[in-house]
Every structure is written in structure tokens, then in C-alpha cells.
Amino acid sequence: PAYSRTFCGTCNRIRVTPTGTLKTCLYDQGVFNIKDSIRGGANDRQIVKLVQEALAIKAINGVEAEKMRHQSLPVKESMATIGG
């Protein structure tokens, strides 16, 4: 990948990819499709709840996030595809 794990210990970021997937870690496969919720008419409170749910299951670091990915989905994303 085009990024390292040197910042995992202090990471306080979440990202929304260009396809609308919420990522709590650069190494996860995306936790929730937030785009569908927004397009489906979710209100602000519902969106906040989705983000809170995503943060509640956030991996402790990039290594753990990568372990949780489906084995068939290796990390090959560029920063542009993950909202970086």
C-alpha cells in the first residue's frame, strides 16, 4: 500500500470514500455504506448513530483491521480511492 502503519497508535480519523463507504481505518474494508443511508433519507441523528456504531467496532490498529478484512480482499487501495 501507499501508506504505513507508523501512525496507528495516535490515529483519530475516519474517512468516507468516494463511493460512500465509511472507513474507520485505512486498512479496513469499509464498515458501513453511509451513502445509501443518506440517499435513503436518514436524518442527522441516524447518521450520527451509524458513525458511533462504526467507531464502536473500530480495530485497535491497522494490523487488526487487516485481519478482519475478507481474505479475498487484500489491501491494494490507493489514497485517492479511500478519500485520502
Each residue's pLDDT tens digit, 9-68: 788 888 888 889 888 887 777 778 899 999 999 999 999 999 999 888 887 777 777 777
Distance CA 29, CA 37 (A): 18
Contacts of 32 (CB under 8 A, 6+ apart): 21, 22, 50, 53, 54
4 Rama class: left (phi>0) / alpha (psi -120 to 50) / beta: beta
What pTM was computed for the model?
Answer: 0.66
